[in-house]
Each structure stands twice: as structure tokens, then as C-alpha cells.
Amino acid sequence: MIVSIHQPHFLPWLGYFNKVWNSDVFVWLHNVQYRKNYFQSRTKIKNPHTGEAFWLTVPVHATLGTPIDEVVEANSRWRASTCKTLEQFYRKAHYYNEFGPELIDLITTSDANLDQLNYRLFMTILKKLEYTGTVIRVEELLPLSAEPNERLIEICQKLNADTYIAGRGGKNYLNTEQWKEVGIKIIWQDFSSEKVIYSQLGTNFIPGLSIIDCLFNEGVVNTRSKLIGAWQF
């Protein structure tokens, strides 16, 4: 069984969904510490008028040590401004009308809890992509180790995983010998945003944007085709 584990992100990039697509089980790890000014509460899209990346951010209340699933929005004003920005930037995109109104409705009506907002957006995108085969688990397998490497191993063991998909950042903290000792193989994700080219509004291509940029410009079928990743064994 192939397992991948990731903290919730706000409208994640293609590489996030690449992990989901290639896993038997994807674990939504939302009971660890919130990381300030990271992708849990923001994402990048493209401003076609300037040709530059633009940050969409959810303002939140979070003190040091706050678990992700307890973080709430600081105010609701971001909702209207975010929806206006999406409309201004993507209304000329070929597939905007197929997904934009639904996305805007979700942003407008979702709970003030950041985790619930992210999960609704995540599952809506997955369903739009017509994913099959991957089981989505919201992680409630407590207690878990506070040490990142051991925590991931514990989750994989509880799910009877024999293979774990790890991002490139995992090389900074995963103890590969410990994984070998417990009999779980690590596959290193090598999904390069610079190599995944697709049509964008404007003249220049910007890699690493939210998956919604690809959905709006390329549609469901072509976006789904981008989720076949490269792996290092």
C-alpha cells in the first residue's frame, strides 16, 4: 500500500495533487502545529495584467503552537476581495465558467475554520478532477509522536503501508535508516513545476501556481494529465 501524508494547504499547487493521485491512501494531517506565513493559508496565482505571481492569503488568528485544525480566519473581508480578484484575473480563461462560480461559492459560504475551508476546497477540486482509487483519510490517529520522522512512520504503520511518498523537503529530516528498519520503502517525489507547462493568460509562463490556474486555463482533462509525476527510488 502506498501512503502519502501532507498538511492542509490553501488551494494547493499541482505537485500536491500529484501525491494524492499516485497514492492508495492520502492522509490529511491537520492536528500538527500551524506554520505562519506558509501555504496552509495562502497560495500563488497569476496576475495576467502584470504577468507576475500574486499571493492569495487568508488572514488568520493563530498563536505559537496552535494546531492547524484550530486556526480561524481573522476577519471575513478577505472572502469578497479574493472572489473579486479571481473574477478579474480569470474571467477570460477558457474554462473559468466551469469551475469559477463553484469555487467562489465555496469561499463565500465556508466555515471560519481554516482547516474546514481548505478541506472543502481540496475535496471539491478532487471531485472535479474525477479522481478514483485514492482513499482520503483525515488524520485522527492519536496520540502521535511530536518528532516528525517518527510521526510519519507511526501513521504509515497504522495504515499498514509498505511504501511512503516523500517530498523533496523530507530529505532534510527523514531518517531513511529508520524507515528501512521498519520495512517501509520511501519513494522521493520529484515533481518539477518548471517542467509541467500549460497554457496561461498573458505571455510569460509562471511555474508553481495553484492548481486552479491550470484548471481555469486547461480544463479538467488536461489538468488531470499533468498529475503523472516523476519519481526517484
pLDDT in tens, the chain (233 residues): 999 999 999 999 999 999 999 999 999 999 888 998 899 999 999 999 999 999 999 999 888 789 999 999 999 999 999 999 999 999 999 999 999 999 999 999 998 999 999 999 999 999 999 888 899 998 665 556 678 888 899 999 999 999 999 988 888 889 999 999 999 999 998 887 778 899 999 989 999 999 999 999 999 999 998 887 655 44
Distance CA 113, CA 52 (A): 30
| CB of 118 closer than 8 Å to CB of 40 | yes
Please give the grid coordinates belonging to residue 143.
496520540
CA 55, 108, 115, 230 torsion-angle sign: negative
Q: Residue holding cell 517525489? A: 189
Global pTM? 0.93
What is the rounded CA–CA span in Å between residue 183 and residue 144?
A: 19
